């Protein structure tokens, strides 16, 4: 194994007045900021009101936090000793799928109640969400927060810091810390960036802006396929009762089952005869 990668860093950066700053929290915050910036930027390019996009992002962020913790608790409830642990988010434990679904559900509910056009802003949000997810996963790479399977590939990683979750994961799941594992979250980083590139190509080259909502569903379904496959590299996801699938895989299947018919419907809807996205999207009230 000539390219074994040793990650010796502590998961903690520093403590300020008792507040612990971790790499996971740092990159999550950076991912949120960059994701909101890109999503609002794309919304503006598509003719959507940037102020309204910011408002929806501010609704989506707490929704994503709630969803991320909720699905994590559902997946790990058997390991928790009390109800109070359900809310101990500062101690770690979130689900990316929960963040995605919660971050989308809350703005959709708001848009439905306030009669706000949502398809276009969801298309724009797809860019920010996938970028934020890619950046956030950098914290997982440093910390080794998600346990992966053993590998003999040259890019296998080993976590050697005593405080690293990656080291604890290796001991719990593999019986030793001296073992190289797949950098599963790094695979996801590259996959997310590939999806981001596909979204840019779809909107600006294939003119997906003519079908509001299709770009967002393309992001959602692409990530579902990515996460379904990458879950096979990990050992820390709970099993479900269905076909030996893990929880993230079951969620991926449910997302694909629900969203693919909607995607087909949106594509079949006759696109309007337009030449400039801003002229159309600035006027549409499609929900």
Closest CA to 101 of 81, 74, 78, 79: 74
Pairing of strands 157-159, 5-7: parallel
Per-residue pLDDT, 281: 44
Binning pLDDT at 50, 70 and 90, where does residue 241 land? Answer: low
Q: What percent of the chain has pLDDT over 90?
A: 41
How confident is the model over 46-103, as pLDDT tens digits?
888 888 899 999 999 999 888 888 887 877 776 676 666 666 555 556 788 888 999 9
Sign, CA dihedral 98-104-110-112, equals: negative
Contacts of 241 (CB under 8 A, 6+ apart): none
Coil, strand or helix at 177? coil
How confident is the model over 110-157, as pLDDT tens digits?
988 988 888 999 999 999 999 999 999 998 888 887 889 999 888 899
Binning pLDDT at 50, 70 and 90, where does residue 283 land? Answer: very low
Q: What percent of the chain has pLDDT over 70?
A: 86
C-beta separation of 225 from 217 below 8 A? no
How many helices, marked H, and strands, marked E, lie in the chain? 9, 4
Question: What is the pTM assigned to this prediction?
Answer: 0.87
C-beta separation of 80 from 69 below 8 A? no
Contacts of 257 (CB under 8 A, 6+ apart): none
Contacts of 221 (CB under 8 A, 6+ apart): 255, 256, 259, 260, 263
Contacts of 256 (CB under 8 A, 6+ apart): 221, 224, 225
Coil, strand or helix at 108? helix
Closest CA to 35 of 151, 130, 160, 120: 130
């Amino acid at each position: 194994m000539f390219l074994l990668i040793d990650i010796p860093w502590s998961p903690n950066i520093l403590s300020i007045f008792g507040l612990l700053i971790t790499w996971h929290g740092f990159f999550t915050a950076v991912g949120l900021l960059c994701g909101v910036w890109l999503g609002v930027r794309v919304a503006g390019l598509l003719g959507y009101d940037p102020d309204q996009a910011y408002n929806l992002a501010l609704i989506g962020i707490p929704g994503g936090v709630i969803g991320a913790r909720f699905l994590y608790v559902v997946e790990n409830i058997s390991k928790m000793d009390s109800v109070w642990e359900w809310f101990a988010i500062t101690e770690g434990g979130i689900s990316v799928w929960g963040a995605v679904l919660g971050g989308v559900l809350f703005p959709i509910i708001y848009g439905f109640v306030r009669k706000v056009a949502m398809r276009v802003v969801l298309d724009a949000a797809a860019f920010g969400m996938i970028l934020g997810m890619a950046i956030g996963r950098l914290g997982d790479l440093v910390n080794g927060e998600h346990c992966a399977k053993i590998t003999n590939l040259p890019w296998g990683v080993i976590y050697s810091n005593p405080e690293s979750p990656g080291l604890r994961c290796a001991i719990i799941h593999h019986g030793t810390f001296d073992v190289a594992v797949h950098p599963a979250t790094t695979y996801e980083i590259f996959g997310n960036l590939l999806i981001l590139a596909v979204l840019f190509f779809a909107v600006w080259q294939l003119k997906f802006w003519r079908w509001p909502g299709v770009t967002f569903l393309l992001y959602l379904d692409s990530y579902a396929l990515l996460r379904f496959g990458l879950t096979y590299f990990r050992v820390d996801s709970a099993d479900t009762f269905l076909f030996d699938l893990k929880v993230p895989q079951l969620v991926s299947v449910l997302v694909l089952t629900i969203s693919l018919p909607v995607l087909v419907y949106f594509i079949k809807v006759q696109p309007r005869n337009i030449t400039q996205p801003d002229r159309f999207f600035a006027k549409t009230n499609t929900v």
